[in-house]
Amino acid sequence: MAPPARRRATYEDLLAVPDHLVAEIIDGELYTSPRPAPRHASASTALAGELHGPFDRGRGGPGGWRILFEPELHLGDDVVVPDVAGWRRERMPTLPETAYFSLAPDWICEVQSPSTAVIDRTKKLRVYAYDGVSHAWMVDPAMKTLETLRLEHGHWTIVATYAGGEPIRAEPFDAIEVDLSSLWEA
């Protein structure tokens, strides 16, 4: 006899998760993880800070982007929360009135932690590819690395991997140098 079919998680299931957890629905399954640890939170905040002025505000950079911290994305039946995401302003000239975004971003960044790395690199990257996110960054604060990926023909290609504190130029934000050392400072 076949096991009973599993019930697909609903948004109501997600809303019932305690506030101290991050909740996402991927492939109909509810995933929860602890709120980011200090090193994780520091890296994602530093990266958002490095990009926000030059790209969101056009201060010292080209502008033309919306850079947001932990936006809730409703992509088809999936509900995911990247650590940082960016939309080109020509695709999202105004912010939605909803508490979430149904328009896939142009770029996402996932900061790796032991509790999220497997889901970030497998299930969530698959969701982002399916919905046409063109660039992904994977930041690992413990290893002090940044891996940049580009979506090509529906599959992720590793563009570059950076380590340590060197200033870098990485697509899609290669118009300016990003100071990687700011991501590792505790």
**For residue 98, what pLDDT is reported?**
95
Q: What is the pLDDT of residue 5?
A: 64
Upstream peptide bond of 172 is cis (omega within 30 degrees of 0): yes
Give the residue from 171, 161, 139 showing the smallest Cα distance to 43: 139
CB 52 within 8 A of CB 44: no
* Model pLDDT, residue 186: 61
pLDDT for the residue 99: 93
Q: What is the pLDDT, as a whole number, of residue 2?
A: 62
Answering whether pTM is above 0.85, one says yes
Counted residue by residue, the chain has a size of 186
Successive 10-residue mean pLDDT values, the chain, 186 residues: 76 94 95 90 93 93 95 97 97 96 98 93 97 97 96 97 92 94 84
Q: What are phi and psi of 85, to 5 degrees?
A: -145, 155
CA 74 to chain centre: 13
**Domain assignments of the chain as residue spans, ordered by start:** 36-184
pLDDT at residue 29 in the model: 96
* Per-residue confidence (pLDDT) for residue 125, from 0 to 100: 98
Residue-level pLDDT at 7:
84
User: Tokens representing 77?
Assistant: 């039946």
- pLDDT score, position 8: 92
- What pLDDT is stored for residue 78 in this prediction? 98
The reported pLDDT for the residue numbered 166 is 82
What kind of fold does domain 36-184 have according to CATH? tt1808, chain A (3.90.1570)
| Displacement of CA 4 from its chain's centroid (Å) | 34
